[in-house]
Amino acid sequence: MTLIENAVAAYTRQYGNAPTTAALAPGRVEIMGNHTDYNGGFVLPAALDKATVLVGAATGTDTIKIYAADFRREATFSATELQRDPHNSWASYLLGVVDQLQQLGIKIGGFQAVIHSDVPGGAGLSSSAALEVATAFFLKQLFSFDLGPMEIARLCQKAENEFVGVPCGILDQFSSVFGIQDGLMFLDCLTLEHSAVQMGRDDIALVICDSNVKHAHAGGDYTTRRAECMAAAAYFGKQLLREVTWEEFEAGKSGLPENQRKRAEHVLTEDQRVLAMREAAKEGDTAQMGRLLAEGHASCRDSFENTSPEIDLLVALASQIPGCIGAKMTGGGWGGCTINLVYADAVPEFCQALAASYKEHTGNNASVYACRAAQGARAIPI
Ligand code: GLA
């Protein structure tokens, strides 16, 4: 059964009738552009063939009922007085979107919905953005409002910033909305100009490796990194690091505190790596792609300091396995997943070898699996 079919079956069990409306939004991996988004920089992500779906119907009441099929919990809210529920914090990603739409003056009435997802939660693959974006595409059908794709991506980011309270950039929501089948996307986070990037060869697979280790302070560390970047930009008299040139940085960096210097160095070099990676991907230049992935990871590890021992180990082990083009961390950091570009015909052996070698070194089980780059969010006819 597909995700949608499962969700429809769960809805019918839960609410006794059939849903009218369905929407799907994918998770993402960031191939290059780590912590560049909120600095106004460049990103190069792919949406994944792992997604969150919402199915449901308007009820003509003022009550919102959401059933999370994956952990069998239902939560109920008033559509006219949105309140966070600390016992059901998962619902805040959905409510945050309702809240943003209402702030725009769009009337969102009562509805019932089932959420179902195969995006691994808390793994750095943007399960939160997938839920926000699926919610927006679902509500757009139920309450027909006129927002374009970039407006939806920004609205979902705002929902996460303001209602959930996570100061993320736009990378995740952009990726979930704009994903393209078997391709990457490029976004300039300052101008919001974006384009599809087709890989110059079709024998490259995306392999995700989840260390299955979560680090407790990741949220707080994200906020600290963001503040360090903003402080470094302010030192140069700029609002965003994107506006600082490499020459300005080189000339002034000795006056920066060490932590800010390292964060800024990562962000400025990472922006260059995104541009280089975009070209290498288009040309199918796997040697260059491998070099850039290795440099990107080293910059996260040594300058941005947002990796973890397990992630560093996974990247080091992956790069010794035949068929691996390159590997790096992906997402916010301090745990989560690595992204590995692997020649398609080597994928089964690569996955097996990486899991075995990680187990041998740590005694822990990593989850290693191939993904495809997938189309972005959409309404699904049911
Ligand atoms: C998280 C955030 C994104 C982005 C990445 C790092 O996924 O939600 O906005 O900052 O980390 O690139």
> What are the tens digits of pLDDT across the range 93-127?
999 999 999 999 999 999 999 999 999 988 899 99
Exposed / middle / buried, residue 191 (Cβ in 10 Å: 0-12, 13-18, 19+): exposed
- Centroid of ligand 1 to alpha carbon of 347 (angstroms): 27
- With a 6 Å cutoff on the Cβ, whether 127 touches ligand 1 is no
Q: Which atom of ligand 1 lies closest to the CA of 36?
A: 12
Confidence grade of residue 218 (pLDDT, cut at 50, 70, 90)? low
Band (pLDDT 50/70/90 cuts) for residue 220 is confident
Verify whether ligand 1 is closer than 6 Å to residue 37 (CB atom).
yes
- The whole-number average pLDDT for the span 377-382 is 96
pLDDT band at 67 (very low <50, low <70, confident <90, very high): very high
- Which ligand 1 atom is nearest residue 157's CA? 9
374 CA distance to ligand 1 centroid (A)? 19
Atom of ligand 1 nearest to the CA of 43: 12
Output the CA 31–ligand 1 centroid distance in Å: 12
Q: What is the pTM of this model?
A: 0.97
Of 351, 239, 300, nearest in space to 32 by CA: 300
pLDDT at 333: 94
Q: Is the CB of 169 under 6 A from ligand 1?
A: yes
Is a pLDDT exceeding 80 seen at residue 147?
A: yes
What is the pLDDT of the chain when averaged over all its residues?
97
- In the chain, the amino acid numbered 265 is E
Q: Is 210 a catalytic residue?
A: no
Q: Which residues pair with 162 in a beta bridge?
A: none
Q: What pLDDT, on the 0 to 100 scale, is given for residue 1?
A: 86
**CA 320/CA 323 separation, integer angstroms:** 9
Report residue 219's pLDDT band, with 50, 70 and 90 as the boundaries: confident
For residue 34 and ligand 1, the question of a CB distance below 6 A is answered with yes
How many angstroms separate the alpha carbon of residue 337 from the centre of ligand 1?
13
Residue 110 is predicted with a pLDDT of 98
Residue 30: CB within 6 Å of ligand 1?
yes
List, in sequence order, every residue forming a beta bridge with 115; answer none if it has no partner. 54, 68
CA of 317 to the centre of ligand 1 (A): 25
pLDDT reported for residue 216: 65
The rounded distance, in Å, linking the Cα atoms of 11 and 6 is 9
* Ligand 1 atom with least separation from CA of 30: 12
Longest dimension (CA), the chain: 68
Q: Residue 214: its pLDDT value, please? A: 76
pLDDT per position as a tens digit, 186-204 = 999 999 999 999 999 999 9
